[in-house]
Amino acid sequence: MFKKLAGMAMAICVASTATAAVAGETFDRIMSENKMVVGVAPWNGFVAKNPSTDEFEGLIVDDIKMLSELTGIQVELVNTTWSGLIAGLQAGKWDVIMTGMGATPERAKAVAFTEGWGFLSHVAVVRADSKANSRDDLNQKGNRIAVVSGTSAHRFAERVFDKAEVASFSDTGAAVLEVMNGSAAAYLGDSISNTKRAAEREELRLVEFAADQTEWNSLNHAVRYEDQDLLLFLNTYIRAMRLRGWYGQLADKWSMPASLATGPN
């Protein structure tokens, strides 16, 4: 019996050692080569190629540059599509996804997410002459709330606007046009896009909801589940930069809402 237990203990020890070796493989390579490959997808204001310079720029790009500056790790950005981000990570085309992907239970089945470094919520844009200033003002009989079909804003609107009519459209342009021509009382979308939209168009105005009357989503990085040490490394960076007020500085530089850095707090 003693020999059997000893053999089992040895087997567990060997298995644990093997697991640890696999878990550290990506991080060990990054440290030894001093290089990390990052998968990104286009998102205006966050990650985009400047056609004049053919260089990436945006809030996330600035954050990646800071990570590289502080750690000395050279970062290679690989541009892909949103639909190809997770598949590329699983195939080993890049070590980490750093493009503002939101952590959801569905996506968590495939990848491990870092802590949230940024946050967005659902807010509305209305005509500049609208008297609406809250979600309750908009949730009135006779009002139409325009949304893009199938989005989280669409699902949120269906849940909370029980008096107003929720009208879905295939694209943002058509939904916003409904507000501009007076056919809809508001367009419901995310806080980042709608803040920019209201700032760029004088005929539109932003209506933010109370923190407990909206729905929050986080912006995260993602790695393979076996790369737990890489996850720890990235989380350490995020925590440190939050304490330094870095994400608030980035939000200000790129004309993002302050809530991007603070979330619902």
Task: Point out which residues pair with 24 in neighbouring strands.
Answer: none
User: Is the Cβ–Cβ distance between 168 and 154 less than 8 Å?
Assistant: yes
Place of tokens 């997808």: 41
Q: How far apart are CA 79 and CA 42, in angstroms?
A: 8
List pLDDT tens digits, range 79-136.
999 999 999 999 999 999 999 999 989 999 999 999 999 999 999 999 999 999 999 9
Find tokens 């005929």 and name the residue. 203
- Sequence-separated (6 or more) residues with CB below 8 Å from residue 8: none
For the chain, what is the mean pLDDT?
91
Residue 179 scores a pLDDT above 90 = yes
Sequence-distant contacts of 134-142: CB under 8 A, at least 24 apart: 134/207, 134/209, 134/210, 134/213, 135/160, 135/207, 135/209, 135/210, 135/213, 135/214, 137/207, 138/164, 138/185, 138/186, 138/207, 139/163, 139/164, 140/164, 140/185
Rg (CA), the chain: 22
Q: Are 242 and 119 in contact (CB under 8 A)?
A: no
Map out the domains of the chain with their CATH numbers.
Answer: 2-117+219-262 (3.40.190.10), 119-216 (3.40.190.10)
Q: Give bridge partners of residue 165 from the DSSP assignment.
A: 144
The tens digit of pLDDT for each residue in 150-160 reads 888 999 999 99
Compute the distance between CA of residue 112 and CA of residue 98 in angstroms, rounded to an integer.
12
CB 221 within 8 A of CB 107: no
Round to whole Å and give the CA distance between 245 and 186: 33
> pLDDT tens across 2-58, in order?
344 344 444 434 344 434 434 479 999 999 999 999 999 999 899 999 999 999 999
Angstrom distances, CA of residue 104 to CA of 150, 203, 218: 15, 34, 9
CA neighbor of 258 nearest in space, from 186, 190, 191? 191
Tokens of 132: 């609406």
Q: Report the DSSP pairing between strands 96-101 and 216-223.
A: antiparallel
pTM of the full structure? 0.81
> What confidence tens digit (pLDDT) does each residue in 137-149 have?
999 999 999 999 9
